[in-house]
Amino acid sequence: MTHRSAIEWFSPKEPPFRIAGFAWFESEGIYRRLLKKPLWSITRRANAQAECGAGGQISFQTNSRRLVIRARFRKNGVTLLKTATSLVSLDCYLGPTGRARYCDNTFFAAAPSSGVRTLFDLPRREMRTVTLNLPLFQAVKKVSIGLEPGSRIAAPAPYDDPRPIVIYGTSITQGCYASRPGMAWTNIVSRRINREFINLGFAGGGCGEPDMARNVASITDPACFVLDYEANGGGFKRLRKTFPQFIRILRRAHPKVPILAISKIAYPSELIHPENLKARLAGRDVQRDTIRKMKKQGDRRLHFHDASHLLGKDFEECTMDVGHPSDMGFMRIADGLTPVLKRVLGSVDAIVSQ
């Protein structure tokens, strides 16, 4: 009989494991959210944030009673203060999409170079779907999966559609101040919609530059694009220039792919500084009016969602600071955007099938 302490190690880069959330993983084989040498220039801040594992997932099925994670990290120049668990931890969910439940967290110490943690040790063997969410604000160099020797390993159930959903945005998109990786809103929605999600949120670096738009547009065969960068957009005057330009760049590369624009969520400061509310609504209106104009010109695959009410009437209770959501805030964002994304994806399916 195999001793329960024995572990056999596997690389998730090999079948039947599935790595998702990294658009260029197949060509480069690294846990990075943009090309190591981007085709078009990006800022130093965005380059550093691209090293972070936000949205990255490792999925598989196994009947092993034990799961041990061994991870190595590297420095990436990200200095923003985050909670330790979202900074360096991987968290684990058990079950298929729609029924996945949180299991445990690696709880690595802040800024380690490596770590080994047991995520579960269960009483009986049965096939389980495992999804690991990579750290939101830490560069991952290597991950090893430890299972009981002789365990069965199988690929997870395939996506409903292999085309990824690509979200470009800010620190909120990246998951800033989520208590652990699985609580970033893109990861929450990925547990509800059986598609690959590519999180291109860059804390402080999602500014809507044309060259960044070209890098995003170079992703092959996306299901849709989501633009959520108003908070880093530099105000409504700059947004008037970058927003339609960003859409045109995406549209030239992907003429029929739906694009969903999301305005900025409400911030607590608006309760005491009316000028902040006025500025946010001006940015919202730029995006809404641009989408309306382009739709009138014939682009039926453009969509806009006003995020003003995503956090609810008590929006100030849903944040960790002046703007970044808490876990409750991220859950409310996910609750509000899940049906919106389903409608966007359903609308394009209907258009293509005509």
pLDDT, tens digit, 9 for 90 and up, residues 116-157: 999 999 999 999 999 999 999 999 999 999 999 999 999 999
pLDDT tens-place string over residues 162-189:
999 999 999 999 999 999 999 999 999 9
Domain boundary, last residue among 154, 176, 205: 154
| Whether residue 112 has pLDDT greater than 90 | no
Give the DSSP letter string of 185-226.
HHHHHHTTS-S-EEEEE-TTT----HHHHHHHHTSSS-SEEE
Q: How far is CA 138 from CA 42, 113, 153, in A?
A: 19, 10, 28
Please tell me whether residues 150 and 179 are part of one structural domain.
no
Residue 2 maps to a domain: no
Clarify whether residues 21 and 42 are in a common domain: yes
* 76 falls within a domain: yes
Rounded CA-CA distance 32/199 in Å is 11
Domain stop point among 154, 177, 201: 154
Greatest pairwise CA separation for the chain in angstroms: 70
203: amino acid identity, one letter = A
127 and 248 co-located in one domain: no
Residue 71 domain-assigned (yes or no): yes
Q: How many residues are given for the chain?
A: 354
Residue 17 lies in a domain: yes
C-alpha angle 155/158/160, rounded to 5°? 165
194-240 pLDDT, tens per residue? Answer: 999 999 999 999 999 999 999 999 999 999 999 999 999 999 999 99
Alpha helix stretches (DSSP H) within the chain: 25-28, 44-50, 84-88, 171-174, 185-190, 210-217, 236-253, 274-296, 327-353
Residue 238 buriedness (CB in 10 A; 0-12 / 13-18 / 19+) = middle
Do both 129 and 246 map to the same domain? Answer: no
Distance CA(69)–CA(84), nearest Å, equals 17
Question: Does 1 fall in a domain?
Answer: no
What confidence tens digit (pLDDT) does each residue in 341-354 have?
999 999 755 443 32
CATH of the domain at 200: 3.40.50.1110
- Non-local (6+) Cβ contacts of 109 within 8 A are 84, 88, 115
Residue 170: which of 337, 325, 326 has the closest Cα? 325
Looking at residue 234, its amino acid is: G
| Domains of the chain: total | 2
Cα–Cα distance measured from residue 20 to residue 202, given in angstroms and rounded to the nearest whole number: 18
User: What are the tokens at 234?
Assistant: 């530099």
- The amino acid present at 278, given as its one-letter code, is K
Spatial separation of the C-alpha atoms in residues 55 and 186, rounded to whole Å: 7
Judge contact between 301 and 251, C-beta under 8 A. no
Residue 95 forms part of a structural domain:
yes
Report, as an integer, the average pLDDT of 55-74: 96
For residue 306, the number of C-alpha atoms closer than 13 Å in the C-beta half-sphere is: 11
pLDDT at 172: 96
Indicate whether 123 and 175 sit together in one domain. Answer: no
Range of the domain at 241: 165-353
Same domain flag for 231 and 311: yes
What pLDDT does residue 113 have?
78
CA–CA separation, 63 vs 127, rounded Å?
4
| Integer Cα distance of 184 and 33 in angstroms | 16
Are residues 181 and 301 both part of a single domain? yes
Same-domain pairing of 265 and 337: yes
CATH code of the domain in which 65 resides: 2.60.120.260
Residues 142 and 169 occupy one common structural domain = no
Instruction: Tell which of 118, 134, 154 closes a domain.
Output: 154
In a domain, 280, yes or no: yes
Instruction: Report d(CA 103, CA 296) in Å as an integer.
Output: 48
Mean pLDDT in residue range 52-81? 87
Q: In this predicted structure, what is the pLDDT of residue 80? A: 47
135 and 211 assigned to the same domain: no
Distance CA 234, CA 214 (A): 19
Q: Are residues 141 and 179 in the same domain?
A: no
Any bridge partners for residue 9, and if so which?
146
Pairing of β 91-94 and β 128-133: antiparallel
141 and 197 housed in the same domain: no
Distance CA 264, CA 292 (A): 18
Q: Per the domain annotation, does 217 fall within a domain?
A: yes
The per-residue pLDDT for range 254-294, each reduced to its tens digit, is: 999 999 999 999 999 999 999 999 999 999 999 999 999 99
Region of poorest pLDDT, from 15-19, 70-74, 223-227 = 70-74
Per-residue exposure over 341-350, b if at least 16 CB sit within 10 Å of its own CB, e if not: beebbeebee
